[in-house]
Amino acid sequence: MSAPADAEAPLRPGVRVLGPDDLPALLRLVAQDPVTHVFAEYRARLTRLDPRWLGGEMWGYVEDGQLVSACHAAANLVPVAATDAAIEAFAGRALSRGRRCSTIVGPRPEVEGLWERLGPAWGTPRELRWDQPHLVIDRAPDVAPDPLVRPTVPGDLAVLYPACVAMYTEEVGVSPEIGGGADLYRTRVSQLISRGWSFARIEDGRVVFKAEVAAASPAACQVQGVWVAPERRGEGLAARGMAAVVAHARAQIAPAVSLYVNGHNEPARRTYERVGFGPAGVFSTIMF
């Protein structure tokens, strides 16, 4: 049985796998910057740090009896408030296990620190995206929301799924369906619909705008998969659509809405600025 939060045993120093008893300590850590750490907090709350549900592990780094850093180590390797000493320890653990992740993603200095140590052993990645401005809005959008953007429902799956595949392929460079991944990806899209985390504008049986919330905590949520049908780009659908997503998300999911965008994507960055997103840091993503 887990000890009460006010009677936690001192944490052992160094790096180790966190478990359910460590959840209070991890939640205190991510609460220091809930917008930056929303993914890790979401995964921790969802799985209660049980490796069976994490699909991997959550590593912690302890100094003087306090959890000072963490790292989500599953399909995504995601550092959390990683100090230099923690980066060294996390990289050592990752090297000893071999690469099991498909991406490394997080604040740029922490990703750079990990990659400096992992790169020589893990080889050439498929893509390096060092400059990804991390943006957030915690107020009403500056653009009037598109009234035709709404939460999707299970009956929308047939028209929504092709748009999700198109977005993923355009953004990542490979289809999510390769290697027999179609069923898993369709399940993921269905899960987002069922949670009320999928939003779209659908006209005549076709998606013209869509976006999803990928992770959420009581303090913040993170948007992904923003997409406008190619033939409808340049009409302002993205700004009005994102304003609708922000309004829906802040009312129903979390008070702060964040995302990160490729630095070279000037049209998207201008769109998010119009909506009212402001800077929250810089992320980096390494894809294998």
pLDDT digits (tens, 9 = 90+) for 87-101: 999 999 999 999 999
Type of residue numbered 35 = V
- As a whole-number percent, the residues of the chain with pLDDT over 90 amount to 92
- Structure tokens of 174? 């490979």
Q: Summarize pLDDT for 14-56 with one digit per residue, the tens.
A: 999 999 999 999 999 999 999 999 999 999 999 999 988 999 9
Q: Are 68 and 62 in contact (CB under 8 A)?
A: yes
The label of the residue with tokens 């992992």 reads 118
Domains in the chain, CATH or no CATH each: 5-123 (3.40.630.30), 137-282 (3.40.630.30)
Burial of residue 179 (CB within 10 Å: 0-12, 13-18, 19+) is exposed
**3-state secondary structure string, 183-201?**
HHHHHHHHHHHHHCCEEEE
For tokens 């080889």, name the residue: 123
**How many residues can be counted in the chain?**
288
Q: How far apart are CA 284 and CA 80, in angstroms?
A: 13
Per-residue pLDDT tens over the stretch 58-112: 999 999 999 999 999 999 999 999 999 999 999 999 999 999 999 999 999 999 9
Given a cut of 90, is residue 284 above it in pLDDT?
A: yes
Per-residue pLDDT at 6: 44
Of residues 201, 197, 192, the one with CA closest to residue 159: 201
